[in-house]
Amino acid sequence: MEPNLIEGEFVFCSLPPSALSDYAHLKPIGMFQEKEGMTLILPIDAARQAKLPAEPAMRMISLDVHSLLEAVGLTAAFATALGNEDISANVIAAYYHDHIFVPSADAERAVAALKALSNRSKNPDNSTR
């Protein structure tokens, strides 16, 4: 598993479902329909331009590992590693990769924690070093 910090900042915005066509031009990188509304994950600049809430600013870490949709344990492992560092995480599991959104200020620490987790899983005999 190789964590890759993606360029740019992102925000989660909630819109009425009927408004999606009004915001499709903002090119959301993700969306999810909930009963309360449509959640869009947008580049922060696009959200600001559309006068949508642009806080909190998040960074996206994509995990370079092809995880199966029915795999067990990966989410728990990285959630624990980030939780141990007191870093909140919003996870999107897509078809090929998992993507973790963390507060911008914590992005570098999150990548370091995920790299340490990856190194421990590659070298289980060195997990205490």
Could you report the average pLDDT of every consecutive run of 10 residues in the chain (129 residues)? 94 84 88 89 95 93 71 79 95 89 98 89 54
pLDDT of residue 122: 67
* Residue whose structure tokens are 């897509």: 94
Cα four-point dihedral sign 13, 17, 22, 23: positive
pLDDT of residue 66: 56
Instruction: Kindly tell me the burial class for residue 74, based on how many C-beta atoms sit within 10 Å of its own C-beta (0-12, 13-18, 19 or more).
Output: middle
User: Whose CA is closest to 55, among 106, 100, 11, 8?
Assistant: 11
What are the two backbone dihedrals, phi and then psi, of residue 96, each rounded to the nearest 5 degrees? Answer: -100, -30
pLDDT of residue 19: 73
Domains of the chain, with CATH numbers? 3-124 (3.30.2130.10)
- DSSP state at residue 6: P
pTM: 0.85
